[in-house]
Amino acid sequence: MTRSVSDPVLEVRGLSTSFFTDDGEVKAVRDVSFDLAAGETLGIVGESGCGKSVTALSILGLVARPGRVVAGEILFKGRDLLSIGREELRQIRGRDIAMIFQDPLSSLNPVHRIGAQIEEAMRAHDKIAPREVRPRGLDLLRQVHVPDSARRVRDYPHQFSGGMRQRVMIAMGLSNRPEILIADEPTTALDVTVQAQILQLLRDLNRDLGTSIILITHNLGVVAGLCKRVIVMYAGEIVEEGSTEQIFDSPQHPYTWSLLRSLPRVDADRHERLRSIEGLPPDLIAPPQGCKFNPRCPFRLERCFSEDPELEPVGDGHIAACWVTMKRAYAEMGAGSLVDTGPGAASGVRPPIAPVGPDLSEPEGQGLAPEAHDRD
């Protein structure tokens, strides 16, 4: 099949991944769909446990047991990665789609030199000519700005700082000139200065090599500095998707709004106390009925407790899964922007109270403290 220049390099359709435990099925990712264009930078954000990393691992076929992909398609250049053989997928993984893992120290082999590990990644896929492997390994370290690369190439992982180890992981990811680079929390545990250097490096690689990047993070500031488009996930689902400007300037899902309200803003007209998101993410074995964010949402309606909203257009290229949307909340509160808005719209709605069965009732007089009987 001839592919158009405008065709996405990666298409994820209805992806669902579950972990089958003794306590039940953990629905880690549910019905996730998105596209990635050639040369695009896409951010996936959300709290820990929302399904970001599991989505990336599902794309690469790296979901460990007892987990497995239970539904969906993952199309790379029109080929479904879920239907090809393991050896064919192994050739694509690392060669055409590479991943930078969250913890570089645990991802690097402590008993092998850095140079040998970068070279191994190239030799495993035969994409780089054998005579070019060693010189390219050294060039990659220079490209990611590792000082004194000719000497450091013979060092071991423990001899590198956290930021330098992350640069080595980026060099390994780029070693086979992949079309897609998935970066899973690449700036975690790095100080602000090193974080800025890593982001600039990814930005330069995207510009100079045209590599498509999927950035997985919980840090919205990192996304704002690198990505052109953003996906917001909650409880294994995509709840909002749009351009970076749309997500930051006009968030339409209350969860996205809540994430932004928990961050300090230098452009705010007045400085208010930062608002945390009350409660905890839901149990993915037995998630709440209706919208999964309804136990924590300050704008919930009666409908939110019984019907699960689907992703619907809320703007040009902007979609959200919400019965309220922040446009309605702004209108009800007379607010014109994110910094003017406080919780209030429909916040009085409470979840329905389940009827108590006969087996849960207690005989009259039971369940009171002894002093309560004395007061009667």
Per DSSP (E only), the strands in the chain are 10-21, 24-36, 41-45, 67-76, 79-80, 97-100, 180-184, 212-217, 229-234, 237-243, 312-315, 318-320
Q: Could you read off the pLDDT of 125-180 as tens digits, one per residue?
A: 878 888 999 999 999 999 888 999 999 999 999 999 988 998 899 889 888 889 99
Burial, 260: exposed, middle or buried (Cβ in 10 Å; 0-12, 13-18, 19+)? middle
Give CA–CA dist 282/259, Å, rounded.
16
- Residue 364, pLDDT > 60, answer no
Angle at 154 between CA 93 and CA 197, to 5 degrees: 65
Give CA–CA dist 123/152, Å, rounded.
20
Tell me the one-letter amino acid at 295.
P
Q: How confident is the model at residue 104, as a pLDDT?
A: 84
Q: Could you read off the pLDDT of 326-351 as tens digits, one per residue?
A: 887 777 666 666 555 555 444 545 66
Give CA–CA dist 33/44, Å, rounded.
12
| Sheet hosting strand 67-76, strand order edge to edge | 24-36, 10-21, 67-76, 79-80
Q: How confident is the model at residue 147, as a pLDDT?
A: 92
**295, two tokens:** 């136990």
Q: How confident is the model at residue 193, as a pLDDT?
A: 83
Domains, in order of start, for the chain: 10-227 (3.40.50.300), 237-265+279-340 (no CATH)
Q: How confident is the model at residue 209, as a pLDDT?
A: 85
- Residue 359, pLDDT > 60, answer no
Q: Could you read off the pLDDT of 269-298 as tens digits, one per residue?
A: 666 677 788 889 999 999 999 999 999 998
Percent of the chain with pLDDT over 90: 56
Q: Which of 70-74, 181-185, 202-206, 359-363 has the lowest mean pLDDT?
A: 359-363
> What spatial distance separates the first Cα and last Cα of the chain, rounded to whole Å?
83
> How confident is the model over 209-225, as a mean pLDDT?
90
Q: Which of 63-72, 89-98, 269-278, 288-297 has the lowest mean pLDDT?
A: 269-278
